[in-house]
Every structure is written in C-alpha cells, then in structure tokens.
Amino acid sequence: MKELINELKKMNLGKMVLNASLKDYTTYKIGGKAAVIIYPKNIDCLILLIKKLKINKVKFMVLGNGSNVLFSDRTYDGVIIKLDEFDKIEFIDNKVIAGSGASLMKVAYQSVRRGLTGLEFATGIPGSIGGAIYMNAGAYKSDMGYVVSKIKVLTPKMTVITMVNRELNFHYRTSFLKDHKDYICLEATLQLKKGNKEEMEQIVLDRKKRRLESQPLEYPSAGSVFRNPPDMFCGKLIEDLGYKGLIKGGAKISEKHANFIVNFNHAKAKDVKELIDFIKQVVKEKYNVDLVVEQELINWES
C-alpha cells in the first residue's frame, strides 16, 4: 500500500490525507482509520485514480458527507474517494445543476431563497448531492426521486453517461446507485418549480423548530437508524418496548427519538452496532417485523 500511495502522490490527482481518522469524516464521529483519503481534482483525475486502483486490485469507495454511514473501528485498508471538488451549483430557470460533492442543505436553502419549491424537505439533511441520490434521501413525504431529472455517472467501464429519472429506480431509501455501487454519481440536474417564497421560508422555519424539539441534534448521530416498515414508525415500535435511553458503552438510543442512536460519550462503532443488532432482534421477537437498517455499515467484514 505504501508503494501505491507514493505512486499516487506522483500522479498529482488531488489532495491526499494519510492515516486519517474516520471520526473526522462521519456525522457519528466514530470509526477507525483510513489508510488514505483522496480528493480528485476533476473527472479525468477520478478516472485515472480508479483505473490505477483497479489495476492494483485495491479496494476503494466513494464517501459523501458521512451522514448516513457507520464505519467499523478497524482500519479501512483501501482508498476512500471524496468528491468535494465536484461542488458546482448552477441555477438555470427552474432547474439546478449541482455537482455530487455539493451540500444538499446548501442547494436546498439556495433554492428556497430563489423562490423555487421542491427541496424544502432537504433543508435539514446534512448530506452531499451524490450521497442523497444514492440513498434517495427524503423527509416529510418527499425525497430526491421527486426532484432529480437526470444525473451524470461514471460507469464501471470508465465512461461518463447520463441517466434519467426513470432509469434510477428510486424507491424508499434506495436507488439504482445503491444497487450498483460501481456507478458513481458526478452531477445531478434537479427540476424545481416556482413557489411562494414567504410560505416556503415559513415551512422551513417550522420544520427546523420541530426537528430541534424532536431530534437529538445536540449529539453526533447519523439520523434515522432503521427504515420505517409499511404503516409503522420505528421510533414508536422501539419506544413502546421501553428502550428509549438504552446505553451500550458510549452509544445510546435517544430519549428524544427512539429511531436515533447517538454518540453521547466517545462511543465505539461496536457500541452502535450492538444496539442496532439488539433492537433488530427484540423487534423481530415482539412484532415479527424485520427492521431494515437505513445506514450503510462499512468495513465490518470479518
């Protein structure tokens, strides 16, 4: 790996961070080390990087804002790619073209300020555009599937193609990209509509107030842990079982919202994972419901 890193440095593909603590790259503030994190300068550098990694049979992954992931406590002995340089945001009439590394919240707030409606649901989601499309992020009965018109992706054959909404297979917290991890989102075109700016701003304020009251935003977390089963709410299921406030190590099921696990005291990744596994088990035993974890579990393979 050391030899490969030296070769990558000579290629000058973009900023590199060695032996990085993943606590600094995830909203859980949890995780082991990453051997190397690379920020490609542009699409050409990204393609050169991936080709080099494939030739050397080195594992790699693209990481957005780390707002929906749980890394294990072990070292990720591969390359983590961050597309932060792909952060262009451009408004054309009722459309916004945003790079995959752009902040979803930033795009949402800029849309509201321009009186464009469709992204109000995203003003409280701390992800990147690419990550939000990957997992079809959503809230308040809306999600990315309603606003994404098309995206540019890098295919496994290292070609750049355009995929339109109907090809992206958006469903509740999933998409084509989540099922095809070797396709990488580079840019998205979002189709919005003209709206009443004052009404939209009031909706955003009301929802912010509701989030502050109902979600444990004072602690590091990765948002909702489980997908809601049909016609059910995970938080209610867990709360009814009496597990609000349940602690494992430095991790805790939130007392504000039982579908949040928070890092309240220097938690290890294994603390969070054990709480996840426990809740899955007791909900299955009590309700015969198989909860699906919404967050991505990374580097847990034995």
Rounded to whole angstroms, the Cα distance separating 33 from 148 reads: 34
According to DSSP, the residues that pair with 261 across neighbouring strands are 253
**Is 135 in a helix, a strand, or coil?**
helix
Q: How many CB atoms lie within 10 A of CB 30?
A: 28
Which one of 111, 175, 221, 294 is the catalytic residue?
294
Residues counted in the chain: 302
* Active site annotation includes 224: yes
Burial 219-247 (b: 16+ CB within 10 A, else e): bbbbbbbbbbeeeeebbebbbebebbebe
- Lateral strand order in the sheet of 184-191: 89-92, 95-99, 184-191, 148-154, 160-164
Residue bearing tokens 């309700």? 287
Residue in 82, 115, 113 with CA at minimum distance from that of residue 99:
82
CA distances from residue 54 to 31, 42, 171, 197, 209 in whole angstroms, order as listed: 25, 19, 31, 48, 47
Given 173, 175, 221, 296, which residue is catalytic?
Answer: 173
* The one catalytic residue among 72, 224, 254, 296: 224
Q: Catalytic annotation on 254?
A: no
Task: Report the C-alpha gap between 73 and 93 in whole angstroms.
Answer: 46
| Distance separating alpha carbons of residues 125 and 143, to the nearest angstrom | 11
Residues involved in catalysis: 173, 224, 294
